Amino acid sequence: MPPPSVVKSQSKLADSAAEKTILKASCLCGAPNHEVTLSTSDLPLKGYMCHCTSCRRMTGAQCLTVVFCPEYYQPAQSVLDKMTAYVFTKRITQYFCTTCGCQMLARCLEDGDDPNSTVTWDVATGTLERIEDIVDWQGHEHLQDTLDGGFADFLTEINGKKLERWPAHYGKHEQVPPGWTSTSRSEVEASPSDKLHCTCRCGGVEFYVTRPSARSALAEKYWPESPPLDISNEQLPPESETFYMRDNRTKFLAGLCSCNSCRLAAGVEITTWAFIPAFQITQDKEGKIPWSGDFGTLRKYESSPGCYRYFCSRCGAIVFYDADGREFLKDVAVGLVDAPEGSRAESWFGWRTRRLGYRDDDIPRAESFVLAIEKGLREWEASRPGADLSGGSRSGGAL
């Protein structure tokens, strides 16, 4: 989070005579919907993207996207009563919708050691009905935690304005360039683990994923069983029918989604999902306890008939998405992965860069942001050795 000094620069009191702008803020279920009333002169609000491990684990996304409100904005208690409070640090308490899990607000104490110090609030931008001309994006922080630059490499500038890229707290140390990777990353690349550990921030939801293989291509045929270990007699479906796999079936497909439903379920601008056969997800490291929609602090929310979203009821992280008729496959929130090569987990996932899922949903509220990501994805793909520009052939699930 940016230092309190960033917040201080904004006006302390709303001028009652000043022109007002009302920002509508919503989640997927609508229970704690509210309005943020600001003096128009305080717009645009400065927007920040935090990539720290805690924010990724708490949202399930690649970063938290927030704006800081002027000191005069204080949400009504009746709104907060419909949310669950999660103590993030001694300075910051997060509030997410109890029903659908959407991260909505954060209460920030100016001094974490002084409970009587000034309280300001930040709003998760994914809840805002519009961000075009409302949010002035400043940049990325805590990139050090990503090891690989994470989502920041997909979004380097907006409307020609270069986004700042800070390794730790905003404005501290030297900025890092696009394509930067941590030196602690290369040491672990040589020994990729065969299990991918995933966890939410509070640890209430933890699970493991096994490496993709040719067996993964048979996930649908054998559901709810696992494909046999020896598949030498099996006819594998053509690669075009296993849209959830990439790179000659050595990786799972991962992609960015900007649909309204995902945005309002997470509270962040962009969600990131990996498509993983259910038989490859287990609750334990040994691989004995199979996937279930009900373990740990997981809570299920039916976002539309036959579509299910799962989130942590204690810290609010989005975790899984699945749908009736497609039970063999689970969408896993990529922010939860604990891959030693970094937050994009590129030894596991092949990223879809040719398009942003459901971009037309987001254009009316966030056109500049959407166009910037599309440009960023193209440039990131082109900058990689052995760039694969073929993209996925078919859409799937939440993406």
Q: Cβ 242 to Zn ion, closest distance in Å?
A: 31
Give me the residues that bind Zn ion (CB under 5 A), please.
27, 29, 50, 52, 55, 97, 99-100, 200, 202, 204, 312, 314-315
The Cα–Cα gap between 369 and 63 comes to 15
Which C-beta is closer to Zn ion: that of 84 or that of 118? 84
Which C-beta is closer to Zn ion: that of 310 or that of 351? 310
Q: Cβ 92 to Zn ion, closest distance in Å?
A: 9
Q: Express the helix, strand and coil content of the chain in percent, nearest 5 each.
A: 20, 30, 50
Which C-beta is closer to Zn ion: that of 29 or that of 106? 29
Which C-beta is closer to Zn ion: that of 128 or that of 329? 128
Which C-beta is closer to Zn ion: that of 122 or that of 374? 122
- Going by C-beta distance under 8 Å and a sequence separation of 6 or more, which residues neighbour residue 64? 49, 50, 55, 56, 58, 103, 124, 268
Residue at token pair 């056969």: 277
Backbone angles phi, psi at 168, to 5 degrees: -130, -130
Which C-beta is closer to Zn ion: that of 88 or that of 243? 88
Q: Cβ 182 to Zn ion, closest distance in Å?
A: 17
What's 114's DSSP letter?
-
The Cα–Cα gap between 340 and 188 comes to 6
By C-alpha distance, which of 153, 202, 185, 145 is closest to 169? 145
Q: Cβ 202 to Zn ion, closest distance in Å?
A: 3
Q: Cβ 102 to Zn ion, closest distance in Å?
A: 5
What's 108's DSSP letter?
E
- Is the separation of the CB atoms in 319 and 301 below 8 Å? no
DSSP labels, 302-332: EEETTEEEEEETTT--EEEEEETT-TTEEEE
Q: Cβ 98 to Zn ion, closest distance in Å?
A: 8
Q: State the DSSP H helix or E strand holding residue 103, giving kind and residue range, or none if neither.
A: strand 103-109
Which C-beta is closer to Zn ion: that of 296 or that of 397? 296
Q: Cβ 168 to Zn ion, closest distance in Å?
A: 11
For CA atoms 151, 68, 168, 166, give the dihedral sign. positive
Which C-beta is closer to Zn ion: that of 218 or that of 312? 312
The Cα–Cα gap between 45 and 248 comes to 45
